[in-house]
Structure 1
Amino acid sequence: MINPTTNVYRKQLIEGFSIPAVIRNGSYFFVDIDVYADGRVDCWNFEDLAHFKEDVRRGWVVLNIPDNEAISIHGLGSWTITNGSWLFDAESFIDYVLQLIRILNPTLENIYQYRQKVVNGIKIGESANGTVYKEQKRTANDFFPEKIGGESIHLFYKVSEEYHLVKVIIFPDLTIHLSRLEKTVYTTLEEFEELITKGIILSEVPVHAKVNIHGLGSFTVQKEQYATDIREKLLEVRDIIRELKGEPSSIEVCRTAYQQYLDNPTLENKEQLKSSYEAVPDHQKMYVGDMDTKDVAVRMIIYGEQEIENWSHYRVAKARGEKLPVINLPAPKDESDE
């Protein structure tokens, strides 16, 4: 046999729908699960249709939140709810997902069956990493319109005295779609900012307000656990636009400034780190460091060594009477003294 000398690979585009649900992992986490034409469903686990059904029936994917429990919405907040009214039970939701798969794949061809991948004895997991997109036709009769990828966050959209939990999809051309509504609302970034100013787009909802989640149900807010400030969410939207354009986000700028300070701990670099850190949205500041220390090391450089007392490892060790952990960081040097 002649051995080939050139390797190739191909990427397969598989279309799907994103629909709302809840993951019960100790608490109740609102999510959008992605349903694909090949029968795969991403619900934090990304396996096949049979495993998805098991996840629903065993209560990993749930379709309602009991009254007096809290709904946690990533990047937005957490609220204790009451008066929940929900559209599905386990079996009707499974049927709904099957209907969506048939819309995407009417003959149910090439339905995926999960097989554990093992490489050199190591089990390999997979991530769906689905991309939200809009289509952009180049001509009126374009049969293969370009897919413009976007990123999304959750916010509330106020209509009369009710609130809708919407999926805000941001695109690099400064357009924004408010989806997870009966009819998608299309805006520009400027119009989106005006809706925030007018109190129509919000990150917080008042107690006793009714919240609708299109495709899942509704509830009344009983108590706010915490919520992210809308100004911080707007900073996040602008950050997303920069990333979609291939520019560094505020988090990446801060990480670069942090490394620059570690490499050369001058007062000037400390001030640069402070400026870049304070430009990061508050709810994302934890991501400027590593998974262990979060942003504690950065805060110690900027605001003083006492910031280590906010480190979870430090608090746990102190509560247990154990030796306190340390984070070694260089002190800033005054370049004028050199």
Structure 2
Amino acid sequence: MAKRRTWREADGERVEGTWRHVFIRNGDRHFLTDLFIYADGMVDCWGLCTLDEFAEKLASGKVATVVPDGAEASALHLGDWTFAEPQRWVTADALLAEVHDTVDQLSGRPDSTARCRAAVDVFLADQTEENRAALHAAYTAIPEHMRVYALGDMDRQDWPLRVLAAGPGNTYTWWDDDEIVTDEAYAEALAYFGCSPA
């Protein structure tokens, strides 16, 4: 979203923003619309609101992350359609976390991915279980649908992070399968970050 830039004026000041697509549920219809996100934590999705108010819209299904089979949808002045076998790629919680990350990015603060990368550095410098637990918490704070981008590596995706955060002998999920972190896999994950086992 960083390349999609917009802004609004608030109290005579320019507030930077960006946007993504979402569905608004209005009655039995779903409308494809834009969700505008601003650096001051306000969002506009059929009305300007706070992050807490946006969370309420998500919780109520007004902003829909689940669209039922057979639901009718519309894109203004573009067309109408009926969903057949819709698939969901993001949960309400993950979308809310993504919006929080976007506010952090627009405000110049570290987002969940940057906080996770910082936790990796702390763990690699001092490979304690306490630091691993902090790394695991930071990794799982990244919105699930955004984790594959955390390392900027489309070949390995987030595999090294998953393995490092789990630790040897523990389970992690990879492509919907539960895997055990072997010593070899753990050494490979450490090597990815240019480090050796402690």
TMscore range, shorter length: 0.7 to 0.9
What are the within-5 Å matches in structure 2 for residues 187-336 of structure 1?
187-291=49-153, 292-304=155-167, 310=174, 327-329=188-190, 333=198
Q: Aligned partners of 1:307, 1:331: CA distance in 2, in Å?
A: 21
Is contact 2:161-2:189 (8 Å) kept? no
The correspondence for 1:134, drawn from 3, 8, 25, is 8
Q: Aligned partners of 1:308, 1:279: CA distance in 2, in Å?
A: 15
TM-score normalised to structure 2 length: 0.78
Q: CA deviation at 1:281?
A: 0.9
Q: Deviations over 1:285-310 (max 9, x none)?
A: 11222413221111112224687994
Q: 1:242 to 1:159 in 2, by over 3 A?
A: same
Q: 1:242 to 1:130 in 2, by over 3 A?
A: closer
Is contact 1:210-1:220 (8 Å) kept? yes
Is contact 2:59-2:92 (8 Å) kept? no
The correspondence for 1:147, drawn from 14, 17, 29, is 14
Aligned length: 182
Which structure has the larger Rg over C-alpha atoms? 1
Q: CA deviation at 1:197?
A: 2.3
Q: Deviations over 1:229-268 (max 9, x none)?
A: 1111011111212222221101110011113323332222
Q: Aligned partners of 1:195, 1:281: CA distance in 2, in Å?
A: 18
* Cα-Cα RMSD: 2.9
Q: Deviations over 1:181-210 (max 9, x none)?
A: xxx522222322222222211112100001
Q: CA deviation at 1:167?
A: 1.1
Q: 1:192 to 1:242 in 2, by over 3 A?
A: same
TM-score normalised to structure 1 length: 0.48
Are positions 1:168 and 2:35 aligned together? yes
Q: 1:130 to 1:236 in 2, by over 3 A?
A: closer
Runs of 5+ unmatched residues, structure 2: 176-184
More helix by share: 2
Q: Aligned partners of 1:132, 1:304: CA distance in 2, in Å?
A: 42
Is contact 1:150-1:169 (8 Å) kept? yes
SS at match of 1:193: helix
**Percent identity for Structure 1 against Structure 2:** 27
